[in-house]
Structure 1
Amino acid sequence: MSRRVVRQSKFRHVFGQPVKADQMYEDIRVSKVTWDSSFCAVNPKFVAIIVEAGGGGAFIVLPLAKTGRVDKNHPLVTGHTAPVLDIDWCPHNDNVIASASEDTTVMVWQIPDYVPVRNVTEPVVTLEGHSKRVGILAWHPTARNVLLSAGGDNLVILWNVGTGEMLLALEDLHTDLIYNVGWNRNGSLLVTTCKDKRVRVIDPRRRRVVAEKARPHDGARPTRAIFVAEGKIFTTGFSKMSERQLGLWDLSNFEEPIALQEMDTSNGVLLPFYDPDSSIVYLCGKGDSSIRYFEITDEAPYVHYLSTYSSKEPQRGMGFMPKRGLDVSKCEIARFFKLHERKCEPIVMTVPRKSDLFQDDLYPDTPGPEPALEADEWLAGKDAEPILISLRDGYVPVKNRELKVVKKNILDNKPPPGPRRSQSASDAGLSRPALEEVLEEIRALKETVRAHEKRIADLEHKLGQFTNGTE
């Protein structure tokens, strides 16, 4: 009688390793703001890091290839009048990034492919609607130009960045400070955690809570929540004894957890990052020196511990690369950008394989940079899964695509009736009284001009006589 002792998983041997010293980003003054943000955002083109700045808030944007020591005069993205609390790259345009600040505003920036010679100070659009600091940003995963922001006013706002207008304001759904917000895969639902110790699943277009769980973790410290597999939510928090916990919940039965595990007694808030292609959750704690990774499966205990990457220096923040930015030739399944006090250290997670061929099982088709919906379509109730791309030949970032903001006005909503006419046929589109009124105004203006011309001519004649001494 044989018994399988080791659980079969292609990710069982995942291991993490830092890059070489010359591939790190050094001499960066990482922000010291006490806010549970990742302070870092990455995409296949850039790494952005919130930094210390005098007289306001700023973040630095570096091309991925610009490694090594960063010049102290390297241009920053500055425009906020108070510290920046969160940044997030647009999933559908690698040159567009949003920033949130204590100055109550959200700004959206266009980052050029080249390194600018001076600070970037003019955002493409400034979004104003919060009354207190804004600490959370999250772009919609499938709809173009839809951005979510959440602030200290317990308010969640959804914006159409393409027009600079507010789409939705989710008021009276949270009674206290919001800790984090996350979208599900197609952007139809939100999950939020709040200081009132509740996890809420929200349908933003109907402005209502569709599921709610009080005290998923009994401790007083902040809780985090993200969507994982279909209909499941992964949470991190603290027990009554201040032990860090992780939990897995099913929306169909939100009262009891599918899994609830205790981890350790550290006091850093655990930031979860989820890779839907591998069903792996990575846990990075503020102040920790390690990254733990767990695989989510359909068999008990449902959350399977895989391994831990450890280093000597504690982390101040963490950036997580989208799947399309990974090196598939090296069986890389995740890449983190770990922030220390003065540097950013990329960490690569790989699955050891002997073959150099493309590994189909590690790289299923993944969400690409093209949106599946327009903002108006999503707001009208339409949902769509992300548009997937293959990584078989690697991913090449597209060139700079400019974000154009078109401000709406009242004339856009009331176009003139009837088809557009040429200049010669325009008279037929006017009523007879209106046409006569316009012609009368033109005749009156001509008479006024003639009168002024005659008066000017008389004055010039008199002035000429005066200067010649005739008068």
Structure 2
Amino acid sequence: MSGGRVSLYRHIYTEPQKDTEAFADVFVSSNQVDSNMLAANSTYLAYPYDTRGGGSFGVLKVGGSGKVGTNTPLFSGHKAPVLDVAFSPFNDDIVASASEDATIRLWKIEEENGRIKNNHDGQLSILTGHGRKVSRLVFNNLVNNALASFGFENAIKLWDISKGQAVATIKGPSNGQFLDINWSQDGNRLVLPAKDKKLHVYDVRAGTETLCCPSHPNIKGSRAVFYNKLNYIFTTGFSSQAARQIMLRDERNPEKPLQTEDVDYNAGIMIPFMDPDNGVVFCFGRGDTGAKYYELREDAPPIMALSGFMLQESIRAVALAPKTAVDTSICEIDCFYAITNSKHLIHLPLIVPRRNAECFQSDIYPETVGPEPSIELDEWKNGGEITPKLVNLETYVRPTAPSSGFHVEEQEDVSVTLGKLNTANKTIEEQKARIAELEAEIAKLKGQ
């Protein structure tokens, strides 16, 4: 996977945060789900908390350090374990959580005297509609209040979080469950690898499948990300011989991949994080001790391997912060965080080596999507065109404190919502029991 053109990013490296400068005793959930188990923005870090009974997630402040342990600020209210967390791209203090209890909850992070306040059953809203556990949450980085979720009844839902309503539902293939969801950089489509060994792309507004093609030959976990600039989709998965595999295809001719490479025989699913500004994809595997990087190019070969990195221990959870969180004074192009096997939560800055790093390096920092919505959800759903609101990182000033403009429209009391959900579940169980009785009576009559 080498080529003739010299890459600006061929020597990317990281300087992992020292354990003495990081958070310690971070009890991330040991649940065996395929979510990233960690979320990050410029201000906070959130992760499903390892607890028995009910469901909680912890929130920590970026830049902090020291032992956390059982003193983690917790957000509690789910009736079963939390499986995923995601921050609003437009409000650092708004976070969503997904749970085995089939609900999604929206929360506001509040501080008192510089410390994050615990939050027990104080969610802003509860989103109900999934029939089984919810394992993935992905916000749209351009459309205000748009959140996509994946439930194990094999359905993707698009939510208007300001109204607490699902505005679209995508049913999965009958012969294979969806494995992952990610938005396109234009904010209009979702890419969905599935256990039917195919890659699916849906136009969310039109409610139509725009692409369906063969993907990795193994039903084991697969992930996918768009790279709109070159009309690419990059996927990770497994070969028929259980090798971890990467694959790149052009959306305009998806049936034949541009390039397929076997990587290694590690067991963990490779999680790709796409940097659309620089065309670099970073692949982390849970249980791995490092990461692999690739530059996606128009000329051959389209996948160019770059230098990766190795840690002293394995990674249990990983998250990519928004581009506006990077430190341009050290030529950090992407800001990752990871929870390691020793329960440390560390910062992993991905750095391009430059002699004059203190001077702004415009060639590695093109304008990027900022923390302001480009369009409202209703306007977008009605066919409105998205014009991304970009910022220049040379002049961009990061807010010193989260300032939430988010609000939830008045909804019925949360207890009423939960009561309706419990009543519906009880009715379903009663109907199942009645059906079983009738089937038994029919069988008895046939036997007479």
TM-score by length of 1: 0.83
- State the distance in 1 between where 2:322 and 2:246 align: 23
TM-aligned CA deviation for residue 310 of structure 1: 0.4
Task: Tell me the equivalent position of 1:360.
Answer: 362
Q: Deviations over 1:348-389 (max 9, x none)?
A: 111111112111111111111110111101111223142111
Asked whether the 8 Å contact 1:155–1:174 carries over to 2, the reply is no
* Paired amino acid for 1:405: V
Q: Deviations over 1:14-52 (max 9, x none)?
A: 111202333211111111000011100000001112121
Following superposition of structure 1 onto structure 2, how do residues 31-110 of structure 1 map, counting pairs within 5 Å? 31-70=29-68, 72-110=70-108
Task: Tell me the equivalent position of 1:272.
Answer: 272
* Paired amino acid for 1:361: D
Task: Tell me the equivalent position of 2:378.
Answer: 376
Task: Tell me the equivalent position of 1:461.
Answer: none
Unaligned 5+ residue runs, structure 2? 413-448
Asked whether the 8 Å contact 1:164–1:407 carries over to 2, the reply is no
1:156 aligned onto 2:156: yes
Following superposition of structure 1 onto structure 2, how do residues 274-353 of structure 1 map, counting pairs within 5 Å? 274-341=274-341, 342-353=343-354
Q: Of the two, which has the highest radius of gyration?
A: 1
Change (3 A) 1:334 1:116: closer
Asked whether the 8 Å contact 1:327–1:394 carries over to 2, the reply is no
- State the distance in 1 between where 2:3 and 2:203 align: 43
Alpha carbon RMSD of aligned pairs, Å? 1.8
TM-aligned CA deviation for residue 187 of structure 1: 1.1
Task: Tell me the equivalent position of 2:207.
Answer: 207
TM-aligned CA deviation for residue 265 of structure 1: 1.0
* Paired amino acid for 1:404: H
- State the distance in 2 between where 1:172 and 1:235 align: 18
Q: Secondary structure at the match of 1:399?
A: coil
TM-aligned CA deviation for residue 177 of structure 1: 2.3
TM-aligned CA deviation for residue 288 of structure 1: 0.6
Asked whether the 8 Å contact 2:98–2:137 carries over to 1, the reply is yes
* Paired amino acid for 1:153: E
1:178 aligned onto 2:178: yes
TM-aligned CA deviation for residue 396 of structure 1: 1.2
Unaligned 5+ residue runs, structure 1? 410-471
Asked whether the 8 Å contact 2:193–2:199 carries over to 1, the reply is yes
Task: Tell me the equivalent position of 1:406.
Answer: 409
Change (3 A) 1:365 1:198: same
Asked whether the 8 Å contact 1:136–1:181 carries over to 2, the reply is yes
Asked whether the 8 Å contact 1:173–1:208 carries over to 2, the reply is no
Asked whether the 8 Å contact 1:40–1:87 carries over to 2, the reply is yes
- State the distance in 2 between where 1:59 and 1:131 align: 22
* Paired amino acid for 1:165: Q
Following superposition of structure 1 onto structure 2, how do residues 9-48 of structure 1 map, counting pairs within 5 Å? 9-48=7-46
Change (3 A) 1:8 1:380: same
TM-aligned CA deviation for residue 6 of structure 1: 5.5
Taking only the aligned residue pairs, the percentage that are identical comes to 34
- When the two structures are aligned, how many residues end up with a matched partner? 405
* Paired amino acid for 2:194: C
TM-aligned CA deviation for residue 172 of structure 1: 5.4
Q: Deviations over 1:245-283 (max 9, x none)?
A: 101111111110011111111111100001011110000
Task: Tell me the equivalent position of 2:137.
Answer: 137
Q: Deviations over 1:125-175 (max 9, x none)?
A: 100000100011111121111111111001111111111112111235564
Change (3 A) 1:120 1:392: farther
TM-aligned CA deviation for residue 10 of structure 1: 1.3
- State the distance in 2 between where 1:34 and 1:391 align: 38
Asked whether the 8 Å contact 2:326–2:333 carries over to 1, the reply is yes
TM-aligned CA deviation for residue 301 of structure 1: 0.9
Task: Tell me the equivalent position of 1:436.
Answer: none
Following superposition of structure 1 onto structure 2, how do residues 242-257 of structure 1 map, counting pairs within 5 Å? 242-257=242-257
Asked whether the 8 Å contact 1:78–1:119 carries over to 2, the reply is yes
TM-score by length of 2: 0.87
* Paired amino acid for 1:183: W
* Paired amino acid for 2:407: K
- State the distance in 2 between where 1:218 and 1:316 align: 26
Change (3 A) 1:351 1:97: same
